[in-house]
Amino acid sequence: MEQIVRTLGKYVITAILVVFGLFFLFKYLSGDEIETQPIEMLFSALILIALGVLAAPDVLQHIGKKATVIMLFCGLAVTAYLGYSVYFSIDDEIAFQEKKVKYDNLTKRRLIDIRSAQEAYEEANGKFTNNFDTLLEWIQKPAVAIPYSSGTFYTDSMPEDKYYEMGYVLTLQEIDSVAIENGYSAEDFSKLIEEDKTAYKVRDNIFTTFYAENFTPEKRVAKKLPPVDLDSLPFTPSSGKRFIMRTSTANQGGVTKSTILVQDPTPFGREKVVKDTLRFGNLKDPITDGNWK
């Protein structure tokens, strides 16, 4: 038993070096086109396996102790250097991926904000715009209609359409003149309508801006979204270049509809590597889906 232990002890260094070599070799081979491992890892694995073989007693007696020590020292030095390179390659890759995630998220958020503004613009104007200046100007104009109502229709005593027929349904602009006709101030008359103490009702639209309804700091905080800077909205976060924005039309069920495509012209990534650009919309179909998950 003691003899077996001594024999196995001679192969401890060989076993350690070979095991580590095989581990790094397996790690290298487990990489794919999405998560590749640095080539230095392969060289380190092969050197460790070779050193393990050289450290075996059967090999040592044929090479010589001095030559073996020199080869082991050189091999370990090269392996240490390659390991150092691998560490910083992985560290650099982690930093790069973190930066990519950051810029991708910023780009997605900006595209989503552009999309929401374009959808509102299309609803109000019947088509999308391919001009950022036009879109930004519209965002700040009172062009978004919000339904306003005051007073309740009591249909059990009179049908709703009868209120309209008898002239009891007013617009906001008509309140002042009708109030004077009935001997009230505009404020008192509005209160009577609100409290259903008169047959008159108000049904109208209040026009506000898309910015006020969606992009103000208060609205963004309430929605748990980052703030919007209109001056930066047309530009990509990573390169500062304008998003590509194109519009067209498509026939859907015999109806001509406006289409749009907005995309990042300079997607973030490594040089000389094909990158997928973040975008939303499709010029051939009236959809505004984004290509992100």
Q: Per-residue pLDDT for 6 more than 60?
A: no
92 vs 101: CA distance, rounded Å: 14
pLDDT value of residue 228: 95
Note if the pTM is more than 0.75: no
Pair 140, 211: CB distance under 8 Å: yes
pLDDT in tens, 57-113: 666 556 666 665 666 666 566 666 556 555 555 566 677 788 888 999 999 999 999
- Determine the Cα angle at 93 with ends 88 and 95, to 5°: 95
pLDDT value of residue 237: 92
SS (H, E, C) 122-171: HHHHCCCCCCHHHHHHHHCCEEEEEEEEECCCCCCCCCHHHHHHCCCEEC
Q: Which range in 11-20, 152-161, 201-210, 273-282 is most confidently predicted, on average pLDDT?
A: 201-210
pLDDT value of residue 24: 63
Pair 129, 118: CB distance under 8 Å: yes
Q: Per-residue pLDDT for 216 more than 70?
A: yes
pLDDT value of residue 32: 47
What single-letter amino acid sits at 263? Q
pLDDT value of residue 26: 72
86-90, Cβ contacts within 8 angstroms, sequence gap of 24 or more: 86/38, 86/40, 86/41, 86/44, 89/38, 89/40, 90/38
Q: How many CB atoms lie within 10 A of CB 27?
A: 15
Can you tell me the mean pLDDT for 241-257? 93
Q: Which residues contact 6 (CB under 8 A, 6 or more apart)?
A: none
- Residue 253 banded pLDDT, cuts 50, 70, 90: confident
pLDDT in tens, 150-176: 999 887 778 889 999 999 999 999 999
